[in-house]
Amino acid sequence: PVVNLVLVDDLFSQRVGLAGQLPGPAGIYETGASGVVVDFDVVHDNPEAFALVLSHELGHFLGLRHTSETFDEPYLFGRVDLLDDTPECDDPASVFEACPDFFNLMFPLVSAERDTARIELSEQQLDVLARSPFVQ
């Protein structure tokens, strides 16, 4: 299977990356939903941030949802993952570093405070990834 990676100069939004679809379409490669996009202008000088954004967007493409949603996207509340072993931030308007899922790969924020050595996935998230047609 193939996942298209598109690097752009500017996503013209506050986002640093986007997945074409959640999950991505297995075996279909010529659509706008068949890959992930990364705003390379934002991460080009920080390899750890690039790796984190790319991994996060690939997580979406393989079927993972955010563990929490941010305060500036209220329309997304209720769209977080339904996994029992991923905590959700009770107050997304709070200091992000205080959120229990801050170091989860699928936390919806790229921050210099997120030490990539501490990034984690839960057992159930790993199970979702293992069931993706892309990793069969």
- Measured in whole angstroms, the distance separating CA 102 from the mean position of its chain's CA atoms is 12
112 C-beta neighbours (distance < 10 Å), count: 8
Query: Residue 40's pLDDT band (boundaries 50, 70, 90)?
Result: confident
Please report the DSSP string for 14-31 in residue order: S-SEEESSSSPPTT--SS
What the block records as the tokens of 130 is 């293992």
For residues 12 and 117, what is the distance between their CA atoms, to the nearest angstrom?
A: 29
Average pLDDT, the chain: 83
What's the whole-model pTM score?
0.86
- Per residue in 54-100, pLDDT tens? 999 999 999 999 898 765 555 555 567 889 999 888 776 667 778 89
Q: Mean of the pLDDT values across residues 108-112?
A: 74
